Amino acid sequence: MAATRNPDIARARRAFFEWGGVPADAVPVTILRSWRRCRQLGVGRERADIAPVEQARLREMRERHGDLVRHARAELAPLAADCAAAGGIVVLTDAEGWILDAQGHAGFLDKAGQVALLPGACWNEARVGTNAIGTAIHEARAVIVRGGEHYIDPHRILTCSAVPVFDPYGRLAGVLDITGDASVPQVHALALARRAVASIEHRYFDDGIPDSEVLHLHHDPALIGTAHEGLLAFRNGRLVAANGAGLALFGLERSDLERAGWDALFEAPLSRLRDDGLLLDREGRALYGHVRAPSPAPHAPSPARRSPARTSAGAGPAADPGGPILEPAVRALLDQAGRVLDAGIPVLVQGETGTGKEVFARALHRAGARAGRPFVAVNCAALPEGLIESELFGYEEGAFTGARRRGSPGLLRQAEGGVLFLDEIGDMPLALQPRLLRVLQDRELTPLGGGRPVKLDFALVCASHRDLAAAVEAGDFRADLYYRLSHHVVRLPALREHADPASLVRALWARMAQGRTLAPAALAALAAHPWPGNLRQLDGCLRTLVALTAPGQAIGPELLPAPLRDGAAPAPVPAMPAAAMAAQPLDALTLAAMQAAVAACDGNIARAARRLGISRSTLYRRLGSDPRRAH
């Protein structure tokens, strides 16, 4: 029954708001506690007076919470696409409930805006009563608030699932929320939000924990290198930082940080992990993994650059069982690119959407001379155009209205000594490309608002799904910048070009199965699917299968998504002749495949999007259509 028409909730609301009591078991205990807090705070139930802040203030908030925004960016885009396909949105807030970003279904974004669920608005309990964001902040744990469980009447149109985001030191950094229409069941929203938050909290450790040894641990060695691994940082024998998975390995709480010591958790010294890749905890359980050397404190000088020479292609993490899964041809590309990057030459990674361009860049960082320094990823397509310049280059105090009091260093300076990854560089506005070119040539920048030029030291990796050479010919990308970036170009193959797709499916599945098994027919169907969304789409499908099943369960073809079910391959999209494909740039091939899919589905955009494995909004955008004309 739709959440907005649930008679039990309706009776509970009448009992609470009109009679001063609540029928037993009518609402979850968490919701009842929140209702009582809101009543004590004097929150009205009729409506909320929410006034979003001005854009200048919103920019300042995003700058102030730059680490959260940066680490969440890579998770928001794919999650927003999934939410859009289901008619919902994903929302990112700071620790006080101020909304920093909201993405997803355009129609539902408009609907959410009617109740001020939009960037610049604050959704803590004191302002808007019981809601998933504010209640998750107060409870410091994941919360679902369905329809009429919201305190304020107009919010009953929403069902929200929120998960807090904590930084490595146990401090609340923000909240990730998935919101949809209360009349539509939100079955998997909380699981999706939990997975995204685990990845965000994992990314925080990419910046390093100063003067600490970071342990990567798990009972299952196949999960090392994934967001499921436990990360624990020790300084002078004391646990100073950890992610949620790391705390869960020992049954610890975030309050135990700075209190728990090495000897209380492990039987053997750290050298055992370095030598054997194995540790025993105090209960005798085996933990597999490795240890990352201490990162220098932020004020310490950059370490001397190591020799760019490599002993073998397996010296980097491509050979690490916890690293990315790369076929031999891509491992060779990784080794070549690593030599180039360590020599101070930029690397340009090209490939279709979902082929693993950022995974490749992170592997370059881990294997290279700058492995102990920051890896800063910037999605040029995700940055609001008005903020790109200030986010990249930084600014001085008073550079513009709403600027932070002491200015901002910018993302380029955050990559000092490490690797700067400019994803979707092809979508950088033309007006900013000359300034980036100047910075790359001079290796120094002048922040917005003036000030002294700042010398820069970082290795540069860029990526784009667009054919940049074709974009130069079309006048959409500066030729001088392209020639600066394209000394060494890596072209990642699409998943359909993989030599042995079944082995790739098995390898990915082994990392996340947690005791589940794939029936031969299911494995065959997964291996035979063309996966237009490439590795990202395959990974998402496998993770969904894990979320929908129980450990130890055997997964047959009946549990696969409709296009793969019962071993039935999707209806083929008309193929272009091989000679024509070879002559076409990457963007043209992608567009042609989308147009062919729409034609094969008799113009039905929704069915074509399902066949391609992408969201309907993405298909509309790439075809240049107006989403309001959706079927």
Task: Give 138-174 as a DSSP string.
Answer: HHTS-EEEEGGGSSSGGGGGEEEEEEEEE-TTS-EEE
User: Would the pLDDT of 19 be above 90?
Assistant: no
Strand 419-423 and strand 230-235: pairing?
A: unpaired
CB-side neighbour CA atoms (13 Å) of 346: 21
- Would you say residue 305 has pLDDT above 80? no
Give the range among 194-203, 482-491, 510-519 with minimum mean pLDDT: 510-519
Domain at 323-491, CATH homologous superfamily = P-loop containing nucleotide triphosphate hydrolases (3.40.50.300)
Q: List Cβ neighbours of 303 (8 Å cut-off, separation of 6 or more).
A: 296, 372, 373, 417
pLDDT attached to residue 622: 63
Mean pLDDT of 12-35: 84
Residue 301 has pLDDT above 50, yes or no: no
Where does the pLDDT of residue 141 fall: very low under 50, low under 70, confident under 90, or very high at 90 and above? very high
Residue 289, both tokens: 């993994």
**Distance between CA 21 and CA 404 in Å, rounded?**
47
Give the pair of three-digit tokens for residue 162.
């929120």
| Helices marked H in 230-327 | 244-250, 262-265, 270-276
Higher pLDDT, 411 or 81: 81
Please determine, for residue 306, whether its predicted confidence score (pLDDT) is greater than 70.
no
Task: Report the pLDDT value the prediction gives residue 119, as an integer from 0 to 100.
Answer: 93
- pLDDT tens sequence across 321-333: 445 677 778 888 9
| Burial (CB count <10 Å: 0-12, 13-18, 19+), residue 53 | middle
Whether 289 has a pLDDT exceeding 70, the answer reads yes
Sign of the alpha-carbon dihedral angle for 55, 59, 64, 68:
positive
pLDDT one-digit tens code per residue, 437-470: 888 888 877 665 556 677 888 899 999 998 999 9
Please give the share of the chain, as a percent, with pLDDT higher than 90. Answer: 32
Say what the pLDDT of residue 588 is.
Answer: 61
3-state secondary structure of 94: strand
- 399 pLDDT tier (thresholds 50, 70, 90): very low
Average pLDDT, rounded, for the chain: 80
Helix and strand counts by DSSP (H, E) for the chain: 25, 19
406 pLDDT above the threshold of 60? no
Name the CATH superfamily for 74-190: GAF domain (3.30.450.40)
Q: Which of 115-124, 277-286, 319-328, 361-370 has the highest mean pLDDT?
A: 115-124
pLDDT for 309 beyond 90: no
CATH architecture, range 495-567? Orthogonal Bundle (1.10)
pLDDT category at 386 given cuts 50, 70, 90 is low
Average pLDDT on 254-270 reads: 90
Q: Where are the domains of the chain?
A: 74-190, 208-292, 323-491, 495-567, 578-629
Q: What percent of the chain has pLDDT over 70?
A: 79
What per-residue confidence (pLDDT) applies to 380?
78
Task: Mark 203-221 as b/e (b = at least 16 C-beta within 10 Å).
Answer: bbbbbbbbebbbbbbbebb
- Write the CATH number of the domain with boundaries 578-629: 1.10.10
pLDDT at 113: 87
Phi, psi values for residue 142, rounded to 5°: -65, 140
Residue 388 has a pLDDT of 57
